[in-house]
Amino acid sequence: MSATETRFVGAPVKRKEDGPLLTGRGTYVDNLDLPGTVAMVVVRSPYAHARIGSIDVSAARAAEGVVAVYTAADLRDDWKAPMPCAWPVTEDMKNPPHYPLADSVVNYQGDGVAVVVADTRSHAIDAAELVEVDYEPLPAVVDVEQAARDGAPLVHEDLGTNVSYVWKLETDAFDAAVSSADVVVTRRYYQPPLIPNAMETRGVVARPEPGGDVTLWSATQIPHILRVLVAATLGMPETKLRVVAPDVGGGFGSKLDVYAEELLAVALARRLGSPVKWIEERSENAVATIHGRDFVTTLELAATKDGKITAIRANVHASMGAYLQLVTPGVPLLGAWIYAGPYAIPNYSVTFTGVFTNTTPTDAYRGAGRPEATYVLERTMDALARELGIDRLELRRRNFIAEFPAQIASGLTIDSGDYHASLDRLLEVLDLDAIQADQAARRERGDAKQIGVGFSTYNEMCGLAPSRILGAVRYAAGGWETATVRCLPTGTFQVVTGTSPHGQGHETAWSQIVADQLGCDPSEVEVLHGDTSISHAGLDTYGSRSLPVGGAALFRAGEKIVEKARDIVAHQLEVSADDLEYDAGTFTVKGSPDKSMTIKGAAWAAFAAHNLPDGMEPGLEATATYDPKNFSWPGGAHAAVVEVDTETGEARLVRYVAVDDVGTVVNPLIVDGQVHGGITQGIATALYEEAIYDEDGNLANGNLATYLLPSAAELPSYELERTESKATDHPFGAKGVGETGTIAAAPAVINAVLDALSHLGVTDIQMPATPERVWRAIEEARQ
């Protein structure tokens, strides 16, 4: 886009979608009240591991309002395939068949064993309590390293092991590089399981339609993928299923899945001939929706004594939970190529061991694989700096990748970036000298409240795409995206996108792109999404792919419109197409500024079709499908300043400064919002969130009174800055932003806590750095 064309791209246009949402006029799944709807409730196992002896549903069947009760045995013939896992990361990956209801053994607390359908939700809940299940408890395993050892209780006995797969990537000269290094720093990190808590829990309505069709409304991120996989699992032709993602109140990766309840609702709607509705309760969400993280990682950095890092090795045990969900085994791989982060490290080794445990299945949670990689790298960078006696920022600078495109040791190419510029800007804003003077003064005085500053310089690989690379790592689907732009005869515009926003503001951002390209106001653009009967193709929203891939497809469709319109205008004005100049929606004849015609005028001419070039089809619309050659590579530098009360162990965030490079920014308000939310999730990981299981696999904190989510009261106002290096593989240079904050924040915060306590000899604290953990670390260091 030229400078004159970008009136709206780059401008802080307020989000179009927010008015209805903020005034209670959104339509979420639970707002659907279709005539004749019956309510579905899932009966869930209280045990993490148990054999099912018998299930007695007679009392439930006889209860008031009950329409039907089903167990796995009743529904066996409804499934033509087990629940899908789209990422068999190795040829011999173990993936035990997983069906919507457990048959003979339950494998995590919350595993579904029966489903009750009643006239009202309260009747269904009451009846669900009458389902009698005879369980024989089995030994459970929750610790990922323990589960991988010989002799551990087996989650799936038939497999003979809890290890689902081992995946390895290593460069040739790796061992030689480690043995010739001056120093090798090795650290071990635990990243606990996390419970995604979208504002809207999951929910489903499935309505049978005439002719055996079904419409499925789901609070999902992936209506297109869901349609294909629900149809395949139920053995329905895809044409018989319409999937609608209405307003969706967040997902953060947890709604990038094919869930048992989606399959059950469709199957039961077909059986019962009535719309079936299921709405997840908040405490149910804690066990029935996927969890994130649960990684134990050993990271080694080998370096010369002047701080040149020569090799990196990561050995990761990643919990799969009890079953492989849609992309569970692939989550570690999403970080596999970026364990060296923004640093030029020539020798590289990562090994992932995917392990079953008796816990809720894990899957993609904001950042998926990349926060895990960045956390262990940035913590170890500080450890290496201490070991070498080199300033931690100087160590980073000595190793930054400085020339682009950069081929990295893991095999990918980073097209663009400027990591020095982001760090420079961070330091301009931060005033490190003042923070360090404050730190020195507090130490001198022996204050109870100590201050620390922590850094994280990062890059990430997002914009999930390129189909060829995804295919090469055995991911079943492609990574393209598609968009249609229609220029309507009345001078308005319609976009149909394959992306499926659930909080990211695509209606606004996509309108800005079209407005600039085709010369209109964003309010004149209607953006349609999230309904497979309207948007037939698409690969949906996750992996910060929507702007890098879907936005690029939209831009390409706009280019096609401009080219067709050029021929129409040339014909109408009786000039050659080469004689036309195009700017911001208007074609002007070169040298004759009074002779012009707009895209809107061309749209009318294309509709009326009275005077079109010979052979040209009426109408002005175009579809483009875009499959980039490379991932999107944002990066940046973040700093956290924390105050730690050394008497109580409480760590409180005082400042948070983030400098992100996401290439061209379409909407700075949306980008700031994305970074805000992302940082908050990263801080939450560092200080508050952890799903705690006891040794029998009981989730000890599955509600919001005990599972801590920070609110605005715990957090400072963030200071957000940007640098800009344009993506070379995107038509207007944009990179993804949806996960940057989450990826960068956690290590910055923990590094800050450790900096605050470094004079006391504290060198390690496990996430989340709760007051108890901080206090214990201080006490241990004192002894």
Nearest residue (CB) to ligand MCN, 346 versus 668: 668
Q: Are 692 and 700 in contact (CB under 8 A)?
A: yes
Nearest residue (CB) to ligand MCN, 252 versus 455: 252
Q: Are 769 and 651 in contact (CB under 8 A)?
A: yes
Nearest residue (CB) to ligand MCN, 250 versus 635: 250
The Cβ-side half-sphere exposure at 610, using a 13 Å CA radius, reads: 4
Full strand arrangement of the beta sheet holding 309-321: 163-170, 347-356, 309-321, 292-303, 183-194
Phi-psi region of 543 (alpha: psi -120 to 50; beta: other; left: phi over 0): left
Q: Find the binder of ligand MCN among 505, 519, 601, 649 (CB under 6 A).
A: 505
String marking each residue 631-670 x if it binds ligand MCN according to CB under 6 A: -------------------------------xxxxxx--x
Rounded distance, CA 34 to CA 32, Å? 6
504 binds ligand MCN (CB under 6 A): yes
How do beta strands 66-71 and 214-218 pair? unpaired
CB of residue 518 to ligand MCN, shortest distance in Å: 17
CB of residue 499 to ligand MCN, shortest distance in Å: 6
**Binders of ligand MCN among 73-92, rule CB under 6 A?**
none
CB of residue 512 to ligand MCN, shortest distance in Å: 8
Residues constituting the chain: 783
CB of residue 730 to ligand MCN, shortest distance in Å: 9
**Binders of ligand MCN among 351-370, rule CB under 6 A?**
366
Nearest residue (CB) to ligand MCN, 353 versus 674: 674
224 binds ligand MCN (CB under 6 A): no
Nearest to 756 by CA among 737, 733, 777: 777
Nearest to 41 by CA among 115, 132, 150: 115
720 binds ligand MCN (CB under 6 A): no
Cβ-Cβ contacts under 8 Å for 594 (sequence gap 6 or more) = none
**Binders of ligand MCN among 239-278, rule CB under 6 A?**
250-253
Q: What is the DSSP letter of 327?
A: S
Q: Find the binder of ligand MCN among 106, 152, 258, 737 (CB under 6 A).
A: 737
CB of residue 38 to ligand MCN, shortest distance in Å: 29
Rounded distance, CA 742 to CA 70, Å? 41
Nearest residue (CB) to ligand MCN, 112 versus 635: 635
Q: Find the binder of ligand MCN among 506, 529, 600, 722 (CB under 6 A).
A: 506
CB atoms within 10 A of CB 134: 11
Name residue 500's amino acid: S
Q: Find the binder of ligand MCN among 736, 741, 747, 768 (CB under 6 A).
A: 736
CB of residue 86 to ligand MCN, shortest distance in Å: 16
Q: Are 144 and 296 in contact (CB under 8 A)?
A: yes
Q: What is the DSSP letter of 549?
A: I
697 binds ligand MCN (CB under 6 A): no
Question: How far is residue 50 CA from its own chain's centroid?
Answer: 32
Rounded distance, CA 644 to CA 12, Å? 36
Rounded distance, CA 40 to CA 200, Å? 18
Q: Which residue has the tokens 């924390």?
A: 642
Nearest residue (CB) to ligand MCN, 636 versus 677: 677
671 binds ligand MCN (CB under 6 A): yes
The Cβ-side half-sphere exposure at 425, using a 13 Å CA radius, reads: 19
497 binds ligand MCN (CB under 6 A): no
**Binders of ligand MCN among 179-198, rule CB under 6 A?**
198
Q: Which residue has the tokens 């951002």?
A: 509
Q: Find the binder of ligand MCN among 87, 135, 455, 542 (CB under 6 A).
A: 542
Cβ-Cβ contacts under 8 Å for 474 (sequence gap 6 or more) = 87, 88, 89, 90
674 binds ligand MCN (CB under 6 A): yes
739 binds ligand MCN (CB under 6 A): yes
CB of residue 548 to ligand MCN, shortest distance in Å: 6
CB of residue 335 to ligand MCN, shortest distance in Å: 14
Nearest to 198 by CA among 14, 28, 19, 372: 28
φ/ψ of 249, rounded to 5, equals -90, 65
Q: What is the DSSP letter of 154?
A: P
CB of residue 469 to ligand MCN, shortest distance in Å: 18
Sign of dihedral through CA atoms 372, 375, 381, 386?
negative
Nearest residue (CB) to ligand MCN, 436 versus 728: 728
CB of residue 295 to ligand MCN, shortest distance in Å: 17
Pick the stretch among 264-272, 389-397, 497-505, 648-656 that binds ligand MCN (CB under 6 A).
497-505
Exposure string over 699-710, b if 16+ CB within 10 A, otherwise e = bebbeeeebbee
DSSP alpha helices (H): ranges in 354-482?
370-388, 392-399, 419-430, 432-445, 467-472
Nearest residue (CB) to ligand MCN, 177 versus 331: 331
Q: Find the binder of ligand MCN among 263, 547, 553, 639 (CB under 6 A).
A: 547
Pick the stretch among 68-76, 273-281, 541-549, 705-713 that binds ligand MCN (CB under 6 A).
541-549
How do beta strands 183-194 and 163-170 pair? unpaired
Q: What is the DSSP letter of 292?
A: E
CB of residue 114 to ligand MCN, shortest distance in Å: 31
CB of residue 677 to ligand MCN, shortest distance in Å: 5
Exposure string over 567-579, b if 16+ CB within 10 A, otherwise e = ebbbbbbebeeee
Nearest residue (CB) to ligand MCN, 114 versus 665: 665
535 binds ligand MCN (CB under 6 A): no
Nearest residue (CB) to ligand MCN, 18 versus 64: 18
Nearest residue (CB) to ligand MCN, 362 versus 546: 546
Q: How many residues bind ligand MCN (CB under 6 A)?
A: 36
Pick the stretch among 115-123, 206-214, 538-546, 643-651 that binds ligand MCN (CB under 6 A).
538-546
Q: Are 212 and 270 in contact (CB under 8 A)?
A: yes
CB of residue 504 to ligand MCN, shortest distance in Å: 4
Q: Are 506 and 220 in contact (CB under 8 A)?
A: no
Q: Detail the DSSP E strand segments found in 283-390.
A: 292-303, 309-321, 347-356
Rounded distance, CA 168 to CA 163, Å? 14
677 binds ligand MCN (CB under 6 A): yes
Nearest residue (CB) to ligand MCN, 426 versus 547: 547
Nearest residue (CB) to ligand MCN, 78 versus 247: 247
**Binders of ligand MCN among 22-41, rule CB under 6 A?**
none
Nearest to 284 by CA among 131, 125, 136, 138: 125
738 binds ligand MCN (CB under 6 A): yes
Pick the stretch among 173-181, 423-431, 587-595, 734-742 that binds ligand MCN (CB under 6 A).
734-742
What is 651-714 written as a DSSP string? EEEEEEEEEEE-BS-S-HHHHHHHHHHHHHHHHHHHHT----B-TT--BTT-STTTS----GGG
481 binds ligand MCN (CB under 6 A): no
Q: Are 651 and 643 in contact (CB under 8 A)?
A: yes
223 binds ligand MCN (CB under 6 A): no
CB of residue 544 to ligand MCN, shortest distance in Å: 4
Residues contributing to the site for ligand MCN (CB under 6 A): 198, 250-253, 366, 502-506, 509, 541-548, 662-667, 670-671, 674, 677, 734-739
